[in-house]
Chains A and B, each alone.
Chain A
Amino acid sequence: DAGITQSPRHKVTETGTPVTLRCHQTENHRYMYWYRQDPGHGLRLIHYSYGVKDTDKGEVSDGYSVSRSKTEDFLLTLESATSSQTSVYFCAISQTGTSAGTDTQYFGPGTRLTVL
């Protein structure tokens, strides 16, 4: 199994509070991703990183920010959590993101976030 951990694994918070989720990898992979998974929607990309301090927006980036100050850590921040951000959040890593489209993404165990 790829060395990916996510913390916390579960969190309950209130509307309007800031929340930060952490993804940590021990594989030294260049690419890191944050997805959210909701019933009926599969996985949707929030933000991704292609190197330290290099990030880009995904399909559902509104209300989220990310930071990557070192290769192994990718942080996802909800500046002011809303109930619509209740979801399961997955971090993923990949080694090369090759143009052939054959790169493998390895997923972490997920963080279940509930915003009341």
Chain B
Amino acid sequence: TQLLEQSPQFLSIQEGENLTVYCNSSSVFSSLQWYRQEPGEGPVLLVTVVTGGEVKKLKRLTFQFGDARKDSSLHITAAQPGDTGLYLCAGSDSGSARQLTFGSGTQLTVLP
């Protein structure tokens, strides 16, 4: 069973600060996805990275896939209260999104 470890598990910061969330594994993934989940709702896909070393930007969010495709990071610049939520990484290990392995999540709270 492939595992994805996310860190930190909890993060509380002030509005305007920068932060980075990490997703690490000893296994190689063919692709990696980041989701954001709000209370009482299902996760919503933010981005998919496929190529080792790939960097994708989504407004103030920057996603990076490690060169060896074993790890990924999510960096948020100038965090806002609206960024508050549970961030989940999920890896596809079989070349198919039918089997996703999810990390345990990072609960981010951005205080105004």
Give residues in A with beta carbon < 8 Å to B. 4, 31, 33, 35, 40-45, 48, 50, 58-59, 90, 92, 94, 97-110
Contacts and interface: CB of A to CB of B under 8 A. Distances in A.
Contact of A42 (B31, B40, B48, B88): B88
Nearest to B41: A109
A51 B43 CA distance: 23
B95 A100 contact: yes
Contacts of A98: 96-97
User: 5 smallest A-B Cβ distances: which pairs?
Assistant: A107-B42, A101-B31, A42-B102, A103-B97, A101-B92
Contacts of A40: 9, 104
Nearest to A110: B42
A48 B98 contact: yes
B95 A107 contact: no
Nearest to B97: A103
Interface in B54-110: 88, 90, 92, 95-100, 102-105
